[in-house]
Chain A
Amino acid sequence: MLELFSYEPVLRGFLVLLVAGFTFPITGVYLLRLNLLPLRFMLMHGALLGGAIALAANINPFWTTILVNLLLVWFMAQTARSLKTDMGYVSIFIMVASMGVAFALISLFNVQAKDTMSLLWGSIFAVDNWQSVAFIFISLAILAFHFIFYRQLKAVFFDTTIAYSSGVNEKLIYNTVVFLTALTVAVAMKLIGALLIDVVIILPALIATLHSRSFKRVVLWASLWGGMFSVSGFFAAYWLKVPTSSAIAILATLVFLVVYWQKKVSSKRGLSNVKRL
């Protein structure tokens, strides 16, 4: 089994998956707390648009995707500000437009079906050295942001008005969360594909939210679940001879269902105890 790691792309892919697995779910916690799920949909579609542009123009999809997502986030913020409207509405418009343009490009430039599929599924073994550096850099940025702004994050997640009146720069926190999410979604596409990005970002955070009773624990558990899914998904994929992304997705979904069911049962038990009292 361990002879696998004698192949450099495999070892590199595993390490990148591990790093991303532990750190990317932290942005998932932020997205859930700030109710930014439409934003991450937009970024997923933006990542597809970036991939489509790169394939059509025959350039590197990884860096193009990052650039496109950052531009989309900037465009979204500017539009929301000038129209004085909610970012959620703007993100839905950008999401639909991104998909339309992506499919048009794929069709117009006769992009091969297998290349399109690679965008949808991703591959951990296709990560090169510079891309690994980008993963590590983004992971460190997420950790640094989390630990430096921990108290401010807690204030903003509790209530933005109260955070503001306490002197917290809530706009900076919000914009940094959006920026980090844009980066995370863009690079996660390389690992796990556009369709399964939620598996490394949202699902671990969602599971942690179900069973943790403090912000600290939610973040810790989201990170642990993400890391565990990455490691176990990697080995399960090897044994079952399926793509790593789908192995991770199936594992995470099973864990989510078990935790969700357990929470339902325990809350029902709690209710019946109350009735008996």
Chain B
Amino acid sequence: MEKSLIVTANGQETFFSNSKWLYPLFELEDFLKSNTISADNLFLTDKIAGKAAAFLIVRLGFKKVHIELISEGALAVFSRFLVDVTFDSKVPKIQCATEELVKGNESPDAVWQMLRRRAGRVSGLSLSVESLGIAIDGVLVLDSLDLKVGKGDHVFIKGDNGAGKTTLLKAILGILPISSGRIQIGDWQVGTSEWERNRSVLGYVHQDMVKNNFPISASEVVEIGLAGKRMPSAEIQHRTEIAMRRTRCFHLATRSYHELSGGEKQRVNIARCLCQEAKVLLLDEPTSFLDSKAKDELFILLNELWANEAPTIVVVSHDDQWISLFSGKVFELSNGKIC
């Protein structure tokens, strides 16, 4: 089979792919990541490249490339990021729907996020809330609420205290009985027996930070993410360590959870969700107990999550300033409805 993409180092072939569309570049990304290879001194040869492929190549860090058929848009992207490019032939544009989605003036990260979702390379599941009604003590808190969140998207829900933000998250979790409507996560409808078997796809970090005095260490809290699964203790320890290292809280492993600061607790809780391999993260007022430094750290951590696993993330918060740091969609919850 003909190779669509080849990467060489000092004339020696180190990687090739014969997949179609943008998949060779995603495969290459995995290859470079898993072997911790820098693309600086590698040479890439691709059959065809439009703007989308050009952005991915730039993001991978290649400085020298040869493209057999290149679009003018791709050439502009390469020259914008100072990539040394040669080609066999040039066309005004590549006939592909993806090309229409890329303007050319975005950042490589933004294009990569969008393309990766199109390629289905996100761990997140879609979330759909349809005509949701919830009454608590006879009072309608949520009324015909609709919300759609795509795979790997991140959304923020703002609203005043008592607007029903936490109620919405608890309904998505399946803890609160629903008066009307339905909630769908991936292929499962919340509340069904199938859902019950798969509900650990949801990771939940709640607002009030667990106030009891149950003696538990930070690593034991992270392990809770695996409490619903059967696995050998060595595997549990391994996964716990990886999750804690990822969220930079491994040094807290033996510390009592209750003695940690608000920011440290958030990192431990996000590590718990990572350990659980949650596909949808529900964060309830995550900045409530954080100082500005801890808020910045949480922002960086969530961005890293999106850049890697890309779970679907739903954050409810009334911290407008913190929300404005992100690029996700922002909804407002008012009078029991999403505006």
The interface of chain A, by Cβ under 8 A from chain B, is: 33, 151-152, 154-155, 157-159, 161-169, 212-215, 217-218
Contact = CB atoms under 8 A, between A and B. Distances in A.
B216 interface: yes
Contacts of B276: 166-167
Nearest to B206: A161
B215 A213 contact: yes
Contact of B220 (A154, A164, A166, A218): A154
Given A158-B221, A161-B175, A166 B228 contact: yes
A214 B227 contact: no
A237 B157 CA distance: 66
A213 B256 CA distance: 8
B223 interface: yes
B214 A33 contact: yes
Given A157-B214, A164-B175, A151 B200 contact: no
Contacts of A157: 214
A213 B217 CA distance: 9
Contacts of A164: 173-175, 199
Nearest to B205: A162
Contact of A162 (B174, B220, B224, B229): B224
A152 B210 contact: no
Nearest to A152: B227
Interface of B: 170, 173-175, 199-200, 202-204, 206, 210, 212, 214-217, 220-221, 223-229, 256, 272, 276
B199 A165 contact: yes
11 contacts: A151-B223, A151-B224, A155-B224, A158-B216, A161-B170, A161-B173, A164-B199, A166-B224, A213-B215, A215-B214, A218-B215
Nearest to A213: B215
- Chain B CB count within 10 A is highest, among A33, A152, A158, for A158
A158 B217 CA distance: 11
Contacts of A151: 223-224, 226-227
A155 B222 CA distance: 10
A153 to B, nearest CB: 9
Contacts of A165: 173, 199-200, 202-204
A214 B224 contact: no
Contacts of A163: 224, 227
A164 B173 CA distance: 9
A248 to B, nearest CB: 26
A158 B228 contact: no
Contacts of A158: 210, 212, 214, 216, 220-221, 224
Nearest to A151: B227
Closest 4 CB pairs of A and B: A167-B228, A167-B200, A155-B227, A165-B204
